[in-house]
Structure formats: C-alpha cells, structure tokens
Amino acid sequence: MHRAQSQFQQDTKLIPVWAYVLAACFFIGIQALIHMVLVPMDPRPKPRAYTIVWGVLFGMFMAFYMLMIGFVTRDSKRRGMNPIVWTLILVSLLPSGVGFIVYFLLREPVALKCPHCSAAVAQDQNFCTQCSFQLKPICNACRRALADDDVYCAQCGSSVTTPAQVLAHR
C-alpha cells in the first residue's frame, strides 16, 4: 500500500503548474458559461439543482482532462516519447476521452539512466552497455538476475543472503 501511494505521489508531481492553472480556468469558465450565458438564454430553464450538478460534473471532467494533458506531456518526455504528438492525439480525441486509453496502452516503459555514466538503459538490463556498471544484483552461482529482496536464487537455488554474494565485481 505504501509503495503504491508513493508511486501515486510521484506521478502526481509530474503534473505541471500550468496544467493546474488551466484546469482551474476551465472549471471556472464552464461554470460562468453555463450559469451566466446558457441558463439565462434558455426559454424553458431546467431546475436549479440539475443545472448546478450538470455544470459541476462537466467542469470537473474538463478540469481533469486538462490535468491529464499536463501529465501526459511530462510523462511522455520521461518515457522518451514525443510529447507534442501525444498532446495533439489527446486534444483531437477530447470529446470521447479515448486518447488517454490509447496513451496508457501504447506508452513506452520509463527510460532509466545508468547511475554511473547516465547512459540510457532498459529496465531488463543487468549491466550498462556503455560502462559495464552493474545495475541489478546477480547470482554468483548461475550469473542470472536477482530481485533486491531475494534470499535464494530462483534459477539455481543458491543462497544469496549476504550482499557480497549478490554484487558482482565492478
């Protein structure tokens, strides 16, 4: 639970300030449009509660959409994707909301950097291809990757309880 909450907090920090400002402007603008323009022009006005609920829900939807556009622009950069293309896709599919589904289905994994030389590395790599820095622990018996919290190797069953056994020579 704590790890999921931490990931949510990290993802929330990706939303830029301009997206929050845009979301607030859209919410307020939609309220003004509905209550100051559309309702007075309606020859047969709807009940006040219906108009308020409809306006708040529509305003929240549009504000959420603006926050998601801000998230996607930052997240796509972080994943090494073109943020302009993804923003255009989201805006063009605005009425249906399908753009987010497409983004979350097709997005690339987060681009990682080697802590030693800052070269781009894939998540499944054990060593950096530029400087041969060890990125993940490996088993000394079978030389296969281990999870950080493994006590035994899942491939050969060797004990990996001490850090000296887990880390390879650099």
The DSSP code for 134 is: B
Looking at the fold, whether 9 and 45 belong to one and the same domain comes out as yes
The DSSP code for 151 is: S
Domain boundary among 90, 110, 130: 110
Range of the domain at 157: 118-170
Classify 57 as helix, strand or coil. helix
Looking at the fold, whether 95 and 155 belong to one and the same domain comes out as no
Looking at the fold, whether 146 and 97 belong to one and the same domain comes out as no
**Which amino acid, one-letter code, is at 129?**
T
Q: Give per-residue pLDDT as tens, 57-96.
A: 999 999 999 999 999 999 988 888 899 999 898 888 877 7
Q: Give per-residue pLDDT as tens, 139-149.
A: 878 877 777 77
Q: What pLDDT is attached to residue 26?
A: 95
Residue 169: pLDDT band (50, 70, 90) is very low
Total domain count for the chain? 2
Looking at the fold, whether 63 and 136 belong to one and the same domain comes out as no
Looking at the fold, whether 102 and 132 belong to one and the same domain comes out as no
Looking at the fold, whether 139 and 158 belong to one and the same domain comes out as yes
The highest-confidence range among 21-30, 45-54, 120-129, 153-162, by mean pLDDT, is 21-30
